[in-house]
Structure 1
Amino acid sequence: MMKISKITKNFNKLPLQIILIISFLTPTITLVGLVGYLSIKNSEKIVKEMINNLSQEIATQVVQNLDSYLALPQQISQNNYRLVQGNFLSFDNLQSWEYHLWQQIQDFPNIAFIAVANTNGEYRAGERLNNNIFTINMVSPNNNFTFKSFNTNELGEKTNLYKSLPNKDIREQIWYKKAITQGKQVWSDLHVSYLEPVLLISNLRPIDIDNNGKFEGFLNTTIKLDQLSNFLSSLKLSPSSQVFIVNNQGELIANSTLEIPFNQKDKTLILAQNSDDKLTSFIAKSLKNKISNFAEIKNTEKFIFSLDNDNYFTQVIHYQHYLGLDWFVVVVVPQSDFMKPINATFKVTILILLLALIIAIIISLLTSRWLAKPIQELATASYDLSQGNLTKKIKIQGVKELTNLSHAFNYMAEQLLTSLHALEKVNNELENRVLTRTQQLAEAKDKAEVANQAKSTFLANMSHELRTPLNAILGFAQLMMRSNTLPPQDKEKIGIINRSGEYLLTLINNVLDLAKIEAGKMSLNPQKFDLYRLLDELEDFLRLNAEQKGLQLIFEKHKETPRYLETDSVKLRQVLINLLSNAFKFTQEGGVSLFVKPEKLNLENEPKKINLRFEISDTGSGIEEKQIQELFKPFNQTDTGKNSQEGTGLGLVISRKFIELMGGEITVKSEITVGTTFLFNILANKVDNIPMEKESFVSRVIGLQSQDVASRILVVDDKTVNCQLLSSLLIPIGFAVREAYNGQEALNVWEEWQPHLIFMDMRMPVMDGYEATQAIKSTIKGNATAVIALTASVLEEEKVICLSAGCDDFLRKPFRQQAIFEIIQKHLGVEYIYESDSSFVDHNYDILTTENLMVMSDNWLKEMYSATLILDEDKILNLIREIPPENQNLANSLQELVNNFQLEQITQLIETIIQK
C-alpha cells in the first residue's frame, strides 16, 4: 500500500498532457505487445511440433534406407549360396569363382566387394574401387598368404598387380573368426578397406552344405558406408540440420556432413563426441551427459539442447537389425532455421507497434492541448484569485464540464469577496485575543522558570546541609574503628553506625533523583543481590520506629520467593523505604505489613525472569477516593499528609518512576479509617548464587617517613566539627595542622604560616572558598600551595566550577580516610608508614556451603543448630571459637552471617546435613 500511495503521489505531480499521452499509449502498447507476444509463443509451439514431425519423418526415411541398403548384401549371399548348393560353384576350386565375382560386382554398383573363402585359407574377391576401377583379389597358402589385388580388363581377366600386402591369412582375420564362431549369417565389425580409405561392413555367411557341422567356407558381401553419408547428406531438412549414425559405443558410422568417420593414420573409428564438426561433437557430448550409454535408448528419445543462444531439437532412433547390428540414428534440427520467418514477422509487428505509438502520441498531444488550454486559463484565474484579484471573470467555451466549471469559479469568486469582508472583522478580534493570551503565557513561563530555579537551589542546599553533618558522623566513626583499644562489641556497634551512615548518605543522594527523573536522565543499574538480606536490613531499620509508636511490624515472603535476584537493588530499597515510611507516618495503632510473592513469567528466551509482587499495608487513617488520583503528582499531599506537616510530596513520585524503570507499575487501595494498601510489581532475573560482599581492607596508615620539614596542612571549614575531624586524623600521623573557619581567616593563616596544602570548604560565611582560592592562586607563592576543594554538593558541575576557580583537586563530603591520605600523597609526595591490622585478617571469608560445615562433628552441628533456632548469640559465638585454626575460613564465614543477622541461612544449611 505504501508503494501504491507513493506512485500515486508522484503521478499527481505530472502535467495533464503527459497523463493523457500515458493514457493513450498504455493500452496501445499493452494490446500490441500482448498480441505480438502471444503470436511469437504460438509460432514457437507450432515450430516445435513441426520440427518433431519432420525429424520423425527423416528418421523413418533413414531407417527405410538402411533396411534397403543392408538387404542387398544378404540377397547376393543367398544367390551365391544357391549356386553352391547346385554344384555350380565349389569351395575346392576358388579360381572358378573369379569371373563370377567380377561379373557380380559390376551388376551391383552399391557393393564394395563380393568374396568367398574356404577353410584352407584361400580367398577370392571381386572389388569395385573409386572411379569404377575393378579388381580381382586373392589370398593363397601357396604364396604365404600374401594378399594380392589385380587390375582387370573388359573380359574380367587379371592384368597387372594393383597392390600386394603380406601375411593376410584369412583365417586369422576377426571377421572370419566371428563367422565361424557364430555359425550363422552375421554382420562383421566395422573396418577400413585394404585398398582405399573407406569404411566397410560385411555380410558373412558360413557354408555347411551337408549340415554336419563342418564348414567348407563362407560367403562375404561387403558394402561401403560412405554411401550412407551421401544419403544422409541428401536429406536436407533445413539449412543447418544434421543427421548422423553411431553404434552403441558412440563411434561415428555416417554423417550428413560427409565427415570421414575414422582416423586415416591408424584406421580406428572416432567417437562422435570427438568429431571435427562442432554440432556433431556438441550433440554427442550432450547426449552422454543425459544418458550414460546409448543402450539405455530402447526405441525413440527426444531432447532439446542449447548452444549459442539456439535450441537444437534432437531425436535419437534405435535401429536394430536381426543379424546383429545395433545402431542409433540421430536427427538434429536447429530451431533458428524455422524461426527466421517468424522473426521477420516479429520485426513487422515491432514496426506496426512503433507506428501505432506515433499515431497515439499525435492524437494524445492534440487532445491534451485541446483540454489543457481552458484548464490553464482556470489555473491562471485561480492564481489571480489567490493574489487577491476577486473581480476577474473568466469565460470558457468548449467542453461542457469545463464551461460549468468556469461558471462555478466565477460564483466562488463572488462568495469569497463577500466572505473576505466578514473575515477581516473576525481577524481583528482574534488578533486581540491572541495578543492577550501570548502575554499570559509569557508570564506563566517566567513563573515556571523561577519555580524551577528555586527547586534546583533548594535541592542543592538541602544536599549540602545533610551531607555536611554526615561527614562528621562517618569520619569520627572511621576514626573510632581505627582504635586498637576499643572492645570488639563496641567496635561492632561503631560498624553498625558507620553502615547506617553510609546508607543514609545513599538516601540523601537519592533525594536529587527527582531532578534527574524530570530531565529524563534516570537509568536502571541492575546488580545481583540477596533479597532476604535486603528485607532483613529494612526490618531491622524500621523496628525501632515501630516499637516507639507501639505498632506491629510484619515482614512475610512466599515460600517460593527466590533469595538471589538481579535488578536495581538501590532503587528497590528506596521504593520500599518510601512506602513503609509513609505507612508508619499515617498509622497510629495496629501495624504495618510487607508481603512478597513471585510470579513466574513463561518466556522461552528468558526462563529465569520473574514478576515479583510487593504488598505494603497499614491500618492508618486511609485516603479519600478523590485524592488517590493526586497521590503521584509532584509536591502534592493528601489532607492527612498536610496535617502531619511531614514530607514534601516527592516520595511517591520518585517511587513510581523507579518502579516503572524496573518494568512494573504501582496501584493503591484505601478505605477511610481502615487503612491503605500499596501494591507494586517489578521484573527481575533469578540467580543461583552471588558472592558475599567482602570488605576491602588496606594497610592502615600509622605515620610518615622521616622528613626534614614537617608537612603543613591548613583545614578551612565553617563547621568546627569538620575541622576537628581532619585534625584528629592527620595530627597523629605526623602532619602539622592548623584550622580556619572562613575564607578571610584562611588568607591570614596562609600569609603567616605558608602551608603546603589547604583543604578548602567552598561554602563559608565572610568569604567563601572560591574567592579565597582565587586570591591565593593569584600570587606567585600561592601557586606552590596545593588547594583541595571540599564540598558537600553532589552536582557534577560543581567540580568544574571549583577547578576553574583555581583548586588543584576536588573531594566530596563525606569522604573516606584513605581518600584523604591518597590525595595528600598525590600532591605533596609524602611516604607513609603502614601497619597491617591483624583484626582484618580474620575477615576473609567464603560463601558458606554444606561441604564447609561437614568438617565439624555431629555433636557440634547439633549444638549450632539448636543455638540458631533459639537465637542464642553468645552460644553461637562460643561454638565459632571452637573451630580449629585450619578451618579459619569457615569461622570467618559464620561470623559474617552472625554480624549480618543471617542465622536462618546457617539453620537451613545444617538442616540439609542432618536430613542426609
Structure 2
Amino acid sequence: MKIPNLTKVIHQLPLQTVLVTSFVTQIIITVGIVGYLSIKNSEKIVTEMINNLSEEIGNQVIQNLDSYLTLPQQINQDNLRLVKSNFLTFNNLDKWENHLWRQIQDFPDIAFIAVVNPKGEYRAGERLENNQFTINIVSPKNNFTFESFNTNKLGEKTTLFQSLPDKDIRKQVWYQQAINTGKSTWSDLHISYLEPLLLISNLQPVDVDNNGIFDGFLNATIKLDHISKFLKDLQISPSSQIFIVNNEGELIANSTGEIPFNFSEKTLTLAKNSNDSLTRFITESLSLKITNLQEIKNNKKFIFTLDNENYFTQVIRYQDYLGLDWFVVVVIPQSDFMASINANTKHTILLSLLGVLISIIIGYLISRWLAKPIQELATASYDFSQGNLQTRVKIQGVKELTNLSMTFNYMADELLTSLNSLEKINNELENRVLERTQQLTEAKDKAEVANHAKSTFLANMSHELRTPLNAILGFAQLMMRSQTLPPQDREKISIINRSGEYLLTLINNILDLAKIEAGKTSFNPHNFDLYRLLDELEDFLRLNAEQKALQLIFERHPDTPQYIYTDSVKLRQVLINLLSNALKFTKEGGVSVFVTPENSSLFTKETMEDNSDKINLIFEVSDTGAGIEAKDLQELFKAFHQTDTGKNSQEGTGLGLVISRKFITLMGGDITVNSEVGVGTTFIFNIIAQKVDSLSIEKESIVSRVIGLQPHDNKYRILVVDDKEVNCQLLNSLLTPIGFEVKEAYNGQQAVKIWKEWQPHLIFMDMRMPVMDGYEATQIIKSEIKGNATAVIALTASVLEEEKVICLSAGCDDFLRKPFRQEAIFNAIEKHLGVEYIYEEDSSSPMVKNNKILTSESLKIMPETWLEEMYQATLILDEEKVMSLITEISENHKHIADSLQELVNNFQLEEIAKLINNEK
C-alpha cells in the first residue's frame, strides 16, 4: 500500500481505534525490550559475581594456607632458640623427650615434632589419631630400630606401642634433603607409616657454632587433612569444588572429601585419576590449555563446558620463600547461580503476556472514556455554530477535557451575558490575591518541610558513612599495632589512616555545608601548621597524579609563615576542590600549588588594618588542562553550573566552586580565575590569616600503646553488641589480645540473654539495631539491680548532639561516637572498670644500652653490603643470619652489637629493619 493511501486510511480511523493501537504497541515494545535487557543483564551479573566469588574464595584459601603452614616453621624456630641458648643440645637427646611430649600437646594439627643428630640418634613426640601421645626413639644402641612408646600423664615412657626395624634416620629422604639444602626447607609430601595421614615436614638444619658443620636437625611435621576440611567447609555453592595439586599434578587436598592418597601403597593420587568426575574433567581440560603448570605465574581463569554446562575455573599459584609450589583450583558451575534466574525468566514472560492482555483491556476502556466527551464536545460545537447559543456540554473526562469543556461553556456564557461591572472585577482580583497568598503560604510550608527532610537525610547519610568508616579506621589502627609489619606497608597503612581521619572530618562537616544556603555558615579559626597541611594534601593527592602520569608540585615562598590562625578545615576543603578539579581535567603535564605572603598586591582588605601579625596569603592553583571557554567564565561560580568539559566528563555536581568561594569569603578573601583554552587554568585566591608562635600550636600527644593488663588485674568480661559483624570483629580483635574475655551479640535481644547468663563487667552497646535496639536493651539491663554493676557504653555513628542526651537518659553510663580511636576504647574501660594497663613504654627499651642510644646514625659505621644483608635477613625473620652478622661488628663498637643482640632476644627484628631503612 502506498504511503498517501496509508495516511488516508489512518485519518479515517476512529479515535478509539488509534488510541488502543498506539497504547498496546508501546506496551509490547517496552515489555519486550525490558525483558530482553533484564535477561542479558542477569547473565552478565551472574558471570561477574562468579568471577568475584572465585577470586574471594581463592584469597581465603591462600590466607588459610599461609596461616596453617606457618605453624611448623614457628615450632622449629622456638626449638632453635632453645638450642642456641644451650637449654637443649644435640649431644643428649634424652632431655628432649619430655619437652617434645609437652610441645606436641599444644598443637592439634601437628603430627610429630622430632630432633636428630648426625649419629643417627632420633627423638620425637607424636600425636596419634585418637589423641594418644607417644615418644619415638631411634638410636645406634638399639640397632636403629624405630621404637614408639606409650606415655603416662607425666610424659614418661611406659609400654612399647610399636617397633619397626632398620629405620636409620640418616637414610630418610627428609634427612638427605636437609643436608643438601643446608637451610630451613620443606620436605616432600609423604604418608604416615602408622596412620592414613598426608604429611609435610618443615626441616631446620642447625649449625650452632656457624662453622659449616651441622650439629643436628629439627623436624616439625604438620597434617594436611585440615586443608581438605577447610575447603569442604567453605560451601561456595551446591556443585562447586576446590582442590589443590602440586606441580606434578598430584592431589594434596580437596573439598569433595576424597582421600588424596593410597595408604597401602604410600602413593599420592593424580588429579586426572581422581574418583570425582568433575575433578578429572577439570584436570584434563587444564592439561589441554596448559602443558606445564609452571607457566602459571599468578593466576589464570578459564571457562570449560561439560554437558552444555559452563564451569568457571580459576587456577592460583601458591608459593612461599621456602620453595613450596602448589596450585589452588576453584571450580564454580554457572548452573548453581542461573537456576533462579531461569525460573524468573519464565515468570517474567508469563507476567509480560498477562500485562499485554490487561493493557489491551485498559486501553480499550481508557480510549472509550476519552473519546466519548470529545465526540459530545464536537457535536455541541457544531450545534453552537448553527446558532443554538443555549447549547452546553457536560463536564466529564480527564483534566484536560474537563478544562476544555469548562472553557467551551465559559465562552458560551460570555457571548450571552454582558461584561461584569468594575466592582465585580475588583472582587475577582481580590479573590485572586487571596488565592495567590494562600499558594505562597503553602509553598513556604512545603519549603520548610523540604529543609527538614534534607537535614534528616544528611544526618542519616552521615550515620551510614561513619559506620563503615569505623571499620576502616579501626582495622587500620589494629594493623599499625603489628610489630611485624614492614616499614613500607606501615607507611601505606599510615596514609590510609590519615585519609580516613580526613574523610571523617569531611563527614562531620557535611551538616555545616548545608548551612551555606541558609546563610548560617560559621567561621571556626584555630592555630595550625600550614606546612603540615600542605604536605598532607600532597600525600593525599599524590596517588591520583601518579595514576594519570601527571606532575604534582607544591611550592611555597620562603617568607610563608609555618604557623597561622584561621579556619584550617575550610582552607583544606578549598584546596582539595581546586586541586581535584585540576587533576580531573588535566590529561598531560601537571598541577601546581604556589603559596606566597603579600601585603596587598592582588587584593585590598580592610581587615588588614595596622596589625603586624595579620598576613595576606596568596594561593595559586595552576594546571595544564583543557582550559575554560570565555562564555563559561562568567557563570563559573553559579550553583550547578558546569563547563562543557565538565559535562562531557559526566563527573561533579557544579557545587565545588560555589562552596569554595563562600569559604574564601568567610576567611576574608576572594577568588579569581585566568584560563586559556588548550593551555590551562589558574585559580588565584587569598585569605587573611594571623601569624602565631609555634608554642601556641597544639602538639599531638604521644599515646602509649596498650599491650596488656597488669598481672594482678582480674579477668574482665566484655560484651560487644552491634548488628554489623565487622564492628564486633574489630572490637574483638582489639580487646582479646590485651587479655579481656570478649563475646559478641548482633541485636539487643541477644545482648540481654548473654548478659543474664554471662554477667559481663562492661557492654559496648550499638544503639541502632534490628529485633531490639540498644535503647530498649539498656533499659532492660538497668531495670534490674544487678544491672547497675554492669557499665554500658553507647556506641553510635549519629552526628546529632542530642543523641548523647538520649543515650544517657536511656541508662547508658557513657557515650562514644563511631569511628572511634583505640585510645578512647581503652580510656573508657579504664574509667569504668579501673583496670591497669601495661604500655609499650613500660618495658625497658632494647635500643638503650650502656647509656648509648642505638640510632640509624649508629649503623653508618657498617658497610653497605652488611646493611643490605642485615635488612634482608630481618625481613624474612632469619635470626640465624642476623646473629651471624652481629658477630662481624668490631669490639670498638660493642655497645651496638649488644643493642642489636637485645633486639633479637626480644623478638624485635622489625626494629632493626626500621633503623636500616631510615639509614638508607
TM-score bracket for this pair, using the shorter chain length: 0.3 to 0.5
Normalising by structure 2, we get a TM-score of: 0.42
In our comparison, the structure showing a higher alpha carbon Rg is 1
